[in-house]
């Protein structure tokens, strides 16, 4: 299917097969394709992405925690997303990338305020995140 989409000019392929990454030719095409999926189907796809990243790509998990956090958020795994956003913020602070760290912290705080059911988790992460501000 990926070959057909690439041949049709909808996707661009980078790299050799099995190691390829794919990009939509245009963001509007990506948005249209994404919009055709039912919410439940999108969530399940993102859950699979999180599982595959964690199981098969530890280098991405370790080096790009913000990417994993995004997949977690899209999968509805908000508590797991917090863990990765916190890791991304710590990594950004260690590189003196303060604006980037603040962006990760802002996203984490937004998630926290949506998690009304877990007061202990909110308190724990909010204190940790606010210590960076």
pLDDT in tens, the chain (133 residues): 878 888 888 898 888 877 788 888 888 888 888 888 888 999 999 999 999 999 999 999 999 999 999 999 999 999 899 999 989 998 998 888 889 988 998 898 888 877 766 666 666 766 776 666 5
pLDDT score, position 31: 86
- Collect all residues with Cβ–Cβ distance below 8 Å to 15 and sequence separation of at least 6: 21
pLDDT score, position 122: 65
Domain ranges of the chain: 2-36, 39-130
Q: How far is CA 85 from CA 1, 23, 76, 88, 120, in A?
A: 33, 24, 14, 5, 18
Under 8 Å between Cβ of 33 and 1: no
pLDDT score, position 114: 78
CA distance 113 to 18: 40
């Amino acid at each position: 299917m990926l070959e057909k989409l690439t041949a049709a000019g909808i996707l661009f392929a980078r790299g050799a097969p099995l190691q390829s990454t794919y990009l939509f030719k245009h963001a509007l095409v990506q948005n249209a394709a994404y919009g055709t999926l039912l919410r439940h189907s999108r969530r399940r796809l993102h859950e699979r992405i999180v599982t595959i990243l964690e199981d098969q790509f530890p280098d991405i998990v370790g080096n790009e925690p913000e990417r994993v956090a995004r997949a977690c958020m899209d999968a509805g795994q908000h508590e797991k997303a917090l863990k990765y956003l916190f890791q991304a913020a710590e990594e950004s602070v260690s590189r003196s990338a303060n604006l980037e760290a603040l962006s990760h912290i802002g996203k984490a705080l937004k998630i926290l305020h949506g998690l009304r059911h877990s007061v202990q988790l909110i308190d724990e992460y909010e204190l940790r995140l606010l210590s960076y501000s």
